[in-house]
Amino acid sequence: MMNEFLESLKLDYEAQIKKAEANIKVYMKYPAGIGEHPELDKAIDSQIKIIAEHEDKLSTVKRLLQEWAIELSNNN
């Protein structure tokens, strides 16, 4: 059951990373068309912060899944 929660979080973090990466690509390709982001560097920075935060969380979840898989297999 715990693995299902962690797997769900893993998928969510991966999706958030992909979304932020897509946003950066749009900002870079169409900087003039992003009217609500007159300061492009700040808009990109906000997406980089999202990526960094979720990569850190993703790394932690992957580590936990690996450690707990090993612990569970040793308990059998």
C-alpha angle 64-67-70 in degrees, rounded to nearest 5: 145
Q: How far apart are CA 43 and CA 30, in angstroms?
A: 13
Res. 66 pLDDT band, cuts 50 70 90: very high
pTM of the predicted protein model: 0.82
Cβ within 8 Å of residue 56, ≥6 positions away: none
User: If you count DSSP H runs as helices and E runs as strands, how many of each does the chain have, helices first?
Assistant: 2, 0
Grouping H, G, I as helix, E, B as strand and the rest as coil, residue 75 is coil
pLDDT tens, residue by residue, 1-47: 668 999 999 999 999 999 999 999 998 888 776 666 568 888 899 99
Per the structure block, which two tokens stand in for 67? 């450690």
Residue 16 near residue 74 (C-beta atoms within 8 A): no
